Structure 1
């Protein structure tokens, strides 16, 4: 019988493999819906228009189902996941909560990125947005910036306010969930994650 590697000594490698495996599985599931169910619904809608006209009562239901499935696909896997990190992030930020003003500085060109890295970063920013929106006193704004130079890539998230930030925003980096996200980023990308804060801003920086 073949002896398996020691899981403890290879935990980081196993985690990276598992995350890549799961990301690819979600891509495949989303593609199945986009190329199957969504196409079928589009064909059904077209047939209903031809037979009963645009006033057909069932058209609204079909359109609602189409929209719900399309949103499900996007949650499973961004349509830009394999194309470009800036495009995938821009698409993901369409659902940013209105309670916090979003400012974005994304480059036009970006080096190819592993799909699991893109998926993780989208998940982190989505979690940040939802977390900020549910704080008792949300901060005024959040800026998302990306830069690439000298072989290093950098994603900076700056949470700020004109006045002093509420303590709930300042304490964000200390929460268990966010600490786990930052640690997971370091393991999966072999990068570095840092958080600095003062009375008016919290800066989260991811470098890989």
Structure 2
């Protein structure tokens, strides 16, 4: 989906392309709206897909930007969540930024280990005693695992939001940490920042 879109220029070009597509389709909709055979709902659905593509592109780019400032091993984190996503191994990963998160975490097991994608993946392997909580990353170290996070009290209506996602949003509402989530059910990746959840591309080449 985002192969090769790793620079500011390419990301902007990618987004601009989809915006142009939306403008063209919106103009077609406006001029065809009186045509009784014209499928307005079909076109609206396609425009929604274009907006989703734009959001995903921007989210992946900004994810890298947010992480790179706080750990030199952000590629290891990206590789880990990509591999976990492909295997549908659920994961919850905190990347500490400016403000310490320790006071908001409960029940964690101290690790103080060097950060690597293989270690992250092994921690979230099903059956591992540490897999059922949040991993805490600070700088280039995995500080702790199996942490319990505060859950958001947001009302999502009929939308199904799992515990990991509620925990990610909940912590990001209270502090500037970035919290990554991999869904165990779907394998979809996302990250929470400032109380909002953003989707991440699932294209493997996008992390290189």
Q: What is the TM-score normalised by the length of structure 1?
A: 0.38
Q: What is the TM-score normalised by the length of structure 2?
A: 0.38
Higher helix share: 1
Structure of higher CA gyration radius:
1
Which structure ranks higher in relative contact order (CA pairs < 8 Å, sequence separation ≥ 6)? 2
